[in-house]
Every structure is written in C-alpha cells, then in structure tokens.
Structure 1
Amino acid sequence: MKKRNLITLVIVVCCSLMANGQAVPPPIPPPPPPGLPIDGGILFLLIAGIFYGVKKTRD
C-alpha cells in the first residue's frame, strides 16, 4: 500500500511539473485600424474641379 501511494505521488508531481512547463502562446496582435488612404484621388478631384470652374466661368 505504501509503495502504491509513493508511485501515485511521483506520477502526480511529474504530471504537474510537465503541465507548468508548457509554453504559453503569444497574444494575437490587434488588427490595424480601419481607414482609407487619401492620395492621388484627391489631387485628381481638385484638378477636375479647377477645370470645371474655369470652363463654367468662361461660358
């Protein structure tokens, strides 16, 4: 009976040590914030607006 308790104790201690030795995965990084790039489209609209304004003033 004493031998059985000792074996059970050794198994429980070994299993708990192995469970503590597991690596924790790193947290998942948050997604980037939503947004729309403001680049060449704004410049195109500005130039088109200037041409439209010049055309309307000449007419």
Structure 2
Amino acid sequence: MQNKYIFASILISFVGLAAMAQESGRFPSPPTPSNGPGPPGLPIDGGIVILFVIALIFGVYKTYGLVAKKTS
C-alpha cells in the first residue's frame, strides 16, 4: 500500500516538472536588462568567512557536548 503512495508522489512530481519545463507561447520573454545605475557598493559576501568559522566552531562545540554527555 505504501509503495502505491510513493509511486503516485513520484509520478505527480515528474508530471509537474514536465509541465514547468515546457515553454509556453502565452507568456512573453523576460525583458532585457537596461544599462541603469549599477549595484550598490556593499558586497553581499563581506562576512561569510567569519560566519562559516563561527558555525564550524559551534558545530564542534555541540558535537563534543553530545559525545561527552553520551559517554558519562
């Protein structure tokens, strides 16, 4: 019974994917970008390295805490 539900979910997903992949003539193509003002001077990835290091340290801290709690 569960296999039927899994098969139906996959089938519906593929049908939806195929419907979205087809190009329709009803919708116009997106407009071409104009040569307006440039992007602002602030970089998006300014602190991404610091954020990654903090997340890595936090992950090691939490993992160490779980292992220490499990062994004691």
- TM-score interval, normalised by the smaller of the two chains: 0.3 to 0.5
Greater C-alpha radius of gyration: 1
So what's the TM-score if we normalise by structure 1?
0.40
| TM-score, scaled relative to structure 2 | 0.34
